[in-house]
Amino acid sequence: MDTFLIDGQSVTFEPGENILQAALEADIQIPHFCYHAALGSLGACRLCAVEINPKDSDKNARVVMACLEPAQKGLEVSLSAAAAQQVRRHVIELLMINHPHDCPICDEGGECHLQEMTVACGPSYRRYRGNKRTFPNQDLGPLIHHEMNRCITCYRCTRFYQDYALGNDLGAMRLRNEVYFGRFQDGPLENPFAGNLVEICPTGVFTDAVFRQHFARTWDLKTAPSICPHCSVGCNTLPGARDGTLRRVRNRAHQELNRWFICDRGRYGHQYSEHNTRPLSPRVSGINTDYRSALAAAARKIQAAAERTGGIGSVREDLEGNVMLRSLLNDLKGIFTAFNDPELEAATLTAVSRMQELDNTPHLAALEQIDAALITGDLTVHAPMIDLALRQAWRNGAKLAMLHSSVAPLTQFASTAATVAPREIHDMLTQLYRQISRQPETNDAVTQTIKTIAATLSQARQPLMAGVVETSTAQDIIALAELAKAFEPAAQLIYVLPGPNAYGAALLSAAGDTVSLLKAVERGEVQTLIVAGSDPFSEPRSGARWRVARQKINTLIVLDCIATATAEAADILIPVAAWPERSGTFVNYEGRAQGFSTVFHRPEYLPSTADIISEISRLLENQLCDAASMLQDSFPGFQAPTPGTPGVQISAQHLPIRNNELMQTEPYSSDNGWQAALTSWLGDEPLAGFSPALTELAPPDTALINPESAARASLKSGSSVRLWNSVYSVETCVQINPSVANETIAIPRSMLVRLGIGHGDSLNLEQLV
Amino acid sequence: MTDIDTLQKDLANLPPDHPDRREAAVPAMLSLQSETGYLDDAAIEKIAEVTGLSSTEIEELATFYSLIYRCPTGRHIVQICDSVCCSMRGADQLLTAAENYLGAPLGGLASECAPTVLPSICLGLCDKAPAALVDGEAAGPLNRTLLETLLKRLQTEE
């Protein structure tokens, strides 16, 4: 590798790197503002001035911008040269002319890049005595606070927002000394990655509006490495807490996952842990009590029920909590499952088994390098950071093909997008498979869409198949995997799983146990049901069945950190620590086990799920081993990954590959009436649903129908309708939306729950006059 | 059919990322401005709809160009250059004189028939410094008397 010199120190560089990049990698801090590793060089701020010594002694040294000067072998660069120092000092002085002296009341204080650079390079006093230019601020919604006077015009915000995150509602207005970064009019920023402006702004123009409500200085915050619990990607985060309360969550760089950014659900969803409905005291039959009595009561009920005990773990419960609950149920000879919905269990297990089989699931950094993708479903909501990685692939020229039943924001970057009703996705994928493997059946009416997608994928160097488990059946998942296999070994396969530890939960589950447990409960064969970190009553498809079956259960024991419908209905409610308040392990969509640490303790005593189950087993006089040794039994050689490290691929036996006929799922009814599709939004996730800043942005509950289908049924935007199935009904109004498939009614999760149906199930519609 | 309607029809069939959409933004703004004298928020939203760009993207362009107005303007517009040459030859005093004469700050309208006076970046009329554009026509060199005569004429003429 070639080298050059910075003040006599040798620095190595890769071809194509500039001086600033190479220096930062070698941990030599050249002052800079507008350069950002994700955004590249711009040369707008002029702060990274360095001097280059001439090769010929008769020429003069020259000052250049380190971010714009390519690194060259043998170059002699000086950071300390007087001329370069003078340029940097003048730049800071100019930038500080209009900057307010409001550091003591600025939220950025203590982690402000401008503060650091001014201390490092600038003059200590302001010479300028004139008026400063001032701006009105905009109301950018509940997530971001705007303070435009502090702007130093580095353009990092618009470069991130427009160029990287591909948003179009934040821009640079006006010109000269009046450049203004904002929206056309007041209103919340629409991009799901807008919260990153807080970190990317080198000063206090964009600050965290949620943190601001309960602010603490950065040096007073307790932090420790954590993992985001809001989807299956497993972004690395750095929560900050003070005085026993969680204040904020920031990005923590992981070289292969979230490098510089996280999504807004990850940044703002943490308010669930401070929500005023959060259970903090154990409750037995509705009466607050202490842990000792609650656990004793739970143990008595479990002992009485013995093998008539059932247990539901969770896709958002850590590996430790799930494995302990499973072991407890094994000892009692009761049924354990980590899922609430038999179809979701089948879909998740199938997805994990297929990813294990193909063994080519890319991390986020690799995703940015793909050149074509077939995406089924809405990645933006179910795995926002995978969406952001694909936006980078699109910027690099990748062709994205999308099949979706409902709204999917990524379609705006798709080269081919088709709306397909949920029950037709499987057919579509099968036809695509035959088209690619050149065995079209004579009765296939191969549409232009299929031909285009087939051509796109066939021409690709590295095609990606990406699916969303929550809105797919096991059959859809198999079809997508078969498609990926047709392109082996180049093809990559991703399934977005339904929770931060869905992969781990799948590894601990046996196929069919969810339906066995549900049926056993319905038959009255389960006396005591333990639910750990899960909410079966709010499950779209099976929630209604669980709510009815509840009557047959004597004792419902719930362990959770949020007030779910199931927790509200519990006979014995045992609050547990939220994620930043405990340590544990999540397994992300790649099968990467990542550890998280306890960031802080609340004033209340809040044990982890694993601790509580261990204590219950002790009271049952059948003490379980600790979670670590249990995990070693399940996963040979398992060592809990140290928090803050990149994590390790979990060593697990491959789940059995099951074929269509073995699936427990019931096929969609074949009638040609309306079918339901899930329409989701960024805050639609069990934990984030308790974050007021996010729920404030929730879209209104309506039924989305595409223009053609609406016209056929004589429906207009705003028409009142009643949606019903055999048992339940809801009333709502229609909104016309072209992103919805034919004969499909896209409704939010809450409506699916009330109707007791899932994505793809049939429903009826009747217009109300 | 107005220009903007014709444009909307022409753009309707182009793909969302076609460069012609972005290209059409400034002519669309000028076309609307020629009817109303300036662009209000509704006009920005109309152009966003026609071109398929976001209203923020249109606002970025509208506020960048000094010949596109986002506030109500008078029947006549005088843009006085305040860049180096004109400034050295008294542009700042001219701007103050215009404010005093009209009784309104720069860009403001004292009465319905008053002209709008604005400072401008370099007009390239350094040979006529201090220079101005009067409804798009070059004028200069100006002095206080000439400017006041000009403003008086603009104020009174139909």
A335-361 residue pLDDT tens: 999 999 999 999 999 999 999 999 999
pLDDT of residue A663: 47
Which residues lie across from A559 on neighbouring strands? A532, A574
**C-alpha–C-alpha distance, residues A652 and A631, integer Å:** 10
Q: How many residues does chain A have?
A: 769
A443: closest CA of chain B, how far (Å): 33
CB contact under 8 A, A174 and B16: no
In this complex, the residue of A171, A175, A185 whose CB is nearest that of residue B57 is A171
Give the integer Cα–Cα distance in Å for B72 and B112. Answer: 10
Rounded Cα distance between A744 and B152, Å, is: 67
DSSP-derived letter for residue A70 is: B
Asked if B21 is an interface residue toward chain A (Cβ–Cβ < 8 A), one would say no
Dist CA B114 CA B156 (whole Å): 8
Indicate yes or no: CB of A175 within 8 angstroms of CB of B64: yes
Q: CA of A409 to nearest chain B CA: how many angstroms apart?
A: 14
CA of A86, closest CA in chain B: separation in Å? Answer: 26
**Element at B94 (helix H, strand E):** helix B91-102
Question: Which tens digit of pLDDT belongs to each residue from A680-733?
Answer: 999 999 999 999 999 999 999 999 999 999 999 999 999 999 999 888 999 999
Q: Is B96 part of the contact surface with chain A (CB cutoff 8 Å)?
A: no
Instruction: Say if the ipTM goes beyond 0.85.
Output: yes
Mutate to test the interface with A, among B58, B60, B61, B122 (most CBs of A within 10 A): B60
On chain A, the residues whose CB falls within 8 A of the CB of B60 are 171-173
B15 and A CB contact within 8 Å? no
Tell me the C-alpha distance between A57 and B130, whole Å: 48
Structure tokens at A21: 């990049």
- Nearest alpha carbon to residue A309 among A601, A704, A622, A657: A622
- Given CB atoms, is B99 within the 8 Å cutoff of chain A? no
User: Is the CB of A171 less than 8 angstroms away from the CB of B60?
Assistant: yes
Query: Within 10 A of A77 (CB to CB), how many other CB atoms are there?
Result: 27
pLDDT band (50, 70, 90) for residue B113 = confident
Q: How many helices (H) and strands (E) does chain A have?
A: 25, 34
Cis? peptide before A603, omega within 30° of 0: no
Q: Hey, are the CB atoms on A168 and B16 less than 8 Å from each other? A: no
| Both tokens assigned to B2 | 């107005």
Residue matched to tokens 């403003």: B151
Closest by CA to A496, choosing from A310, A708, A263, A290, is A263
- Confidence category of residue A442, pLDDT binned at 50, 70, 90: low
Per-residue pLDDT at A111: 94
* Contacts with A185 from chain B: Cβ below 8 Å: 41, 55
C-alpha A525 chain-centroid distance: 38
Q: Give the integer Cα–Cα distance in Å for B92 and A252.
A: 52
User: For chain B, how far is it from start to end, CA to CA, in angstroms?
Assistant: 28
The span from the CA of A571 to the CA of A282, in Å, is: 10
Nearest by CB to B64, which of A170, A174, A183?
A: A174
Write down the residue that tokens 């601001």 correspond to.
A212
- Domain limits of chain B? 3-64, 77-156
The answer to whether the CB of A733 falls within 8 A of the CB of A719 is yes
B106, pLDDT greater than 90: yes
A702 near A734, Cβ under 8 Å? yes
**Pairing relationship of beta strands B132-134 and B137-139 according to DSSP bridges:** antiparallel
The tally of CA atoms less than 13 A away on the side-chain side of residue B41 is: 4
| pLDDT at site A440 | 64
Pairing type for strands A584-587 and A528-532 reads: unpaired
A16-33 in b/e form (b: 16+ CB < 10 A) is ebbbbbbbbeeebebbbb
What pLDDT, on a 0 to 100 scale, did the predictor assign at position A425?
Answer: 94
For residue B83, pLDDT over 50 is answered with yes
Instruction: Determine the Cα–Cα distance for residues A627 and A660; give it in Å rounded to an integer.
Output: 35
CATH class of B3-64: mainly alpha
Residue A447 has pLDDT above 90, yes or no: no
For A173, the closest of B16, B53, B60 (CB atoms) is B60
> pLDDT band at residue A661, thresholds of 50, 70 and 90?
very low
According to the annotation, is B126 in a ligand binding site?
yes
Backbone angles phi, psi at A52, to 5 degrees: -110, 125
Say which residues have a Cβ less than 8 Å from residue A607's Cβ, sequence separation at least 6: A291, A576, A577, A582, A615
Lowest mean pLDDT among A383-397, A529-543, A648-662, B28-42: A648-662
Q: Does B56 touch chain A (CB under 8 A)?
A: yes
Cα torsion A344, A346, A350, A351 to 10°: value is 0
Residue A664: C-alpha distances to residues A342, A545, A659, A667 (Å): 7, 17, 11, 10
A185 to chain B, closest Cα gap in Å: 8
* Runs of H (alpha helix) within A333-424: 342-358, 364-367, 379-382, 384-395
Asked if the model's pLDDT at residue A271 lies above 80, the reply is yes
Q: Which two tokens stand for residue A532?
A: 């750990």
CB contact under 8 A, A173 and B63: yes
| CATH code for the structural domain at B77-156 | 3.40.30.10
Query: Is B122 marked within a binding site?
Result: yes
Q: Is B81 annotated as a binding residue?
A: yes
Residues A575-593: tens digit of each pLDDT: 999 999 999 999 999 999 9
In A230-362, the DSSP E strands lie at 236-242, 245-251, 283-284, 287-288, 309-312, 335-337
Q: Which residues in chain A touch residue B71, judged by CB atoms under 8 angstroms apart?
A: none
Residues of B in contact with A412 (CB under 8 A): 16
Tell me the one-letter amino acid at A623. Q
* Residues on chain A touching B55 (C-beta within 8 angstroms): 169, 184-185
Contact B54 A184 (CB under 8 A): yes
Token pair 């087993």 is found at: A617
Which residue in chain B has the smallest CA separation from A413?
Answer: B17
Query: Can you read off the two tokens belonging to residue B56?
Result: 């923020």
Q: Which pTM does this prediction carry?
A: 0.94
CB contact under 8 A, B60 and A175: no
B135 Cβ under 8 Å from any chain A Cβ: no
Question: Considering CB atoms only, which of A168, A174, A412 is closest to B56?
Answer: A168
Which of A158, A162, A173 should be substituted to probe chain B, the one whose Cβ sees the most B Cβ atoms within 10 Å?
Answer: A173
Cβ contact (<8 Å) for B63 and A174? yes
Flag whether residue B25 sits within 8 Å of chain A, measured between CB atoms.
no
Contact between B59 and A172 using a beta-carbon 8 Å cutoff: no
DSSP string for residues in A419-488: E--GGGHHHHHHHHHHHHTT---TT----HHHHHHHHHHHH-SSEEEEEEGGG--HHHHHHHHHHHHHTT
Of A37, A40, A65, A60, the C-alpha closest to A50 is A65
- B82 shares contact with chain A (CB less than 8 Å): no
Return all residues near B18 (Cβ < 8 A) that are at least 6 apart. none
Mean pLDDT over residues A386-409, rounded?
A: 96
Q: Which domains does chain A have, with CATH numbers?
A: 3-97 (3.10.20.740), 108-114+127-274 (no CATH), 283-345+503-649 (3.40.50.740), 361-490 (3.40.228.10), 675-767 (2.40.40.20)
Among A169, A176, A180, select the one facing B54 at the smallest CB separation.
Answer: A169
